[in-house]
Amino acid sequence: MGILAASQHGVFSLAQARAVGVAPSTLDKRVARGSLARVEPAVFAFPGTLPTWQRNTMALVLSAPRLAAASHKTAAFIWGLSSIQPERAEVVTVRHQRIQRRNPQIHESKDLEP
């Protein structure tokens, strides 16, 4: 999980852990021991991973129940099309699969595809 997390600004999802054979109970035990931190309901980070804007945005995308991606000003900043880092992340997800968060802007699309 470390290599995957490193490529995702230090975070990985429960679904990604399950895909490589890590049981949810193992993750819960590691959170209890302090060898992992839960940064979203189903997203984890290794200790020492700084809570940067990029990490928080990636965690938000990974927390979606299905397909999601950075969008709008957030995507423009990530792709280098804007030099202005947005104050709050914008994420697009599959219509009717909205993730509930207080600060970020969540958009829905009926045309979102992998």
pLDDT tens for 69-91 read 889 999 899 889 999 999 888 88
pLDDT digits (tens, 9 = 90+) for 22-40: 999 999 999 999 999 999 9
Q: Could you state, in order of their start, the residue ranges of all structural domains in the chain?
A: 1-49, 64-114
What lies within 8 Å, CB to CB, of 36 at 6+ separation is 27, 30, 44, 45, 46, 47
Contact between 31 and 25 (Cβ < 8 Å): no
pTM for this predicted structure = 0.83
